[in-house]
Amino acid sequence: EIGRSRNTDKADRATVEQALDPRTRMVLFRMLNRGVFNDVNGCISTGKEANVYHATKSDGSELAIKVYKTSVLEITVLDMATVVTIPRKMVKTWAEKEQRNLKRYWLYTCFIGRLHAAGIRCPAVILLRLHVLVMEFIGRDGWAAPRLKDAALSLDKLRECYLELIIQMRVLYQKCKLVHGDLSEYNILYFEGHLYIIDVSQSVDLDHPLALNFLREDCDHVSDFFKKHGVAVMTIPELFDFIVDPTISDENVDSYLEEVQLKVIERGEISVEDEIADSVFMKSYIPKSLDAVNNPEADVAKITSGQDTGDMLYQTITGLKDALPKVDEQQIEVNA
Ligand code: ADP
Ligand code: MG
């Protein structure tokens, strides 16, 4: 059961050891010798891509160890006779896949570094060795903090968490220059009244061709969770705009949020129209860069003439929305 990792008795430990392949055991053994930790206790989570274990140091401090599964590692348990019969091409593919994976784990530590530097709550990476990632443990006394999904928070606390999270999503984008890519109630832990973002395995830099598509998915998942639990949330385009708008600064972010909150409260229940607008937004085309904008002149004309530009997704992303002041009536008269 998630959040209940306290199992330090011998039988459980034996199961943990059995589940590890020889190479993982070697990496953990070396870490143990170097005093990175003194005990690997129970398994906190078993996933498709990785298992997470709880470890302790002799001073009582706690760590989480994420061990990625890679099928390539299994070659170490094959006997030599089998190994020689494996086609060379296959070995090459495996080796390449392993290199790609190792680079991903390395990127993970870089991304966590960026989150930390920007003050986002997340478990700091302590050490990465091959496919074994040692990080800060979020929890206490062997009890892992629950995922947001399992935290059973009051409506008031959920409202607070929603605000905290969307501000963190904005920092992630604006300061860390990252999109999480797998943000949902499954990859957020709730600990001591705050949210901790974990699992940046799917994260991408903003220059990734699909970064904005991933961000839109993240917005959708986050909105869904809070909406489901009764929190009055922004529409998905509103949330997306809040995250990407470069004209919001540290100084005016609070007043921006207050304004949006008022709008959300006034609106009350999300209407059918809003639901439709959300799903249209989820399916619309997002230009990857300004180069990919098809007809900039027509778009600029549309903005300056004060026409409805709700379907122009990139105007907020690029700052165009505020760069071009709308022509007011008086000016038109003078020009005429
Ligand atoms: P996966 O790739 O399996 O999704 P995650 O990084 O999301 O891996 O971790 C899986 C689970 O392990 C999380 O949902 C959480 O319950 C637990 N976990 C991960 N990292 C930590 C940590 N640093 N502290 C406490 N629990 C953690
Ligand atoms: Mg996860």
User: Closest ligand to 146 CA?
Assistant: 1
| ipTM for the whole complex | 0.99
Which residue has a Cα nearest atom 7 of ligand 1? 199
Cα 263 to Cα 71: distance, rounded to the nearest angstrom? 51
Q: Is residue 304 part of a domain?
A: no
Instruction: Give the distance (Å) from ligand 2 centre to CA of residue 110.
Output: 18
Closest CA to 315 of 306, 327, 307, 323: 323
pLDDT of amino acid 86? 79
139 and 164 in a single domain? The answer is no
Q: Is residue 1 part of a domain?
A: no
Q: Is residue 246 part of a domain?
A: yes
For ligand 1, whether the C-beta of 112 sits within 6 Å is: no
194 and 268 in a single domain? The answer is yes
Q: Is residue 292 part of a domain?
A: no
195 and 268 in a single domain? The answer is yes
pTM for this predicted structure = 0.84
Instruction: Give the distance (Å) from ligand 1 centre to CA of residue 44.
Output: 7
Which residue has a Cα nearest atom 12 of ligand 1? 45
Name the residue with tokens 């809040």. Answer: 242
Write out the catalytic residue numbers: 182, 199
132 and 37 in a single domain? The answer is yes
For ligand 1, whether the C-beta of 52 sits within 6 Å is: yes
Which residue has a Cα nearest atom 11 of ligand 1? 45
Boundary of a domain, candidates 144, 177, 210: 144
Could you report the per-residue pLDDT of 75-94, keeping only the tens digit for each?
A: 555 566 666 777 888 878 88
Q: What is the DSSP string of 232-280?
A: ----HHHHHHHHH-TT--TTTHHHHHHHHHHHHHHH-SPPHHHHHHHHH
Query: For the domain that residue 38 is a member of, what is the CATH number?
Result: 3.30.200.20
Q: What is the DSSP string of 28-96?
A: HHHHHHHTS-SEEEEEEEE-SSEEEEEEE-TTS-EEEEEEE--GGGGGGGS-HHHHHHS-HHHHHHHHH
154 and 225 in a single domain? The answer is yes
Which residue has a Cα nearest atom 23 of ligand 1? 137
72 and 133 in a single domain? The answer is yes
Residue 331 has pLDDT above 70, yes or no: no
Annotated binding site: 66, 138, 187, 199
- Looking at the 3D structure of the chain, how many domains does it have? 2
Name the residue with tokens 């099928």. Answer: 71
Exposure of 239 by Cβ count < 10 A (0-12 exposed, 13-18 middle, 19+ buried)? Answer: buried
40 and 20 in a single domain? The answer is yes
Q: Is residue 294 part of a domain?
A: no
Do strands 125-129 and 132-136 pair parallel, antiparallel, or not at all (unpaired)?
Answer: antiparallel
Boundary of a domain, candidates 88, 122, 144: 144
Could you report the per-residue pLDDT of 156-212, keeping only the tens digit for each?
A: 999 999 999 999 999 999 999 999 999 999 999 999 999 999 999 999 999 998 999
Given a contact cutoff of 8 angstroms between Cβ atoms, the answer to whether 62 and 74 are in contact is no
For ligand 1, whether the C-beta of 132 sits within 6 Å is: no
140 and 119 in a single domain? The answer is yes
Boundary of a domain, candidates 110, 144, 178: 144
Instruction: Give the distance (Å) from ligand 1 centre to CA of residue 197.
Output: 10
201 and 132 in a single domain? The answer is no
Which structural domain, as residue segments, surrounds residue 197? 148-284
Instruction: Give the distance (Å) from ligand 1 centre to CA of residue 45.
Output: 7
Cα 99 to Cα 293: distance, rounded to the nearest angstrom? 36
For ligand 1, whether the C-beta of 138 sits within 6 Å is: yes
pLDDT of amino acid 184? 98
Q: Is residue 206 part of a domain?
A: yes
Query: For the domain that residue 247 is a member of, what is the CATH number?
Result: 1.10.510.10
Residue 3 has pLDDT above 60, yes or no: no
280 and 154 in a single domain? The answer is yes
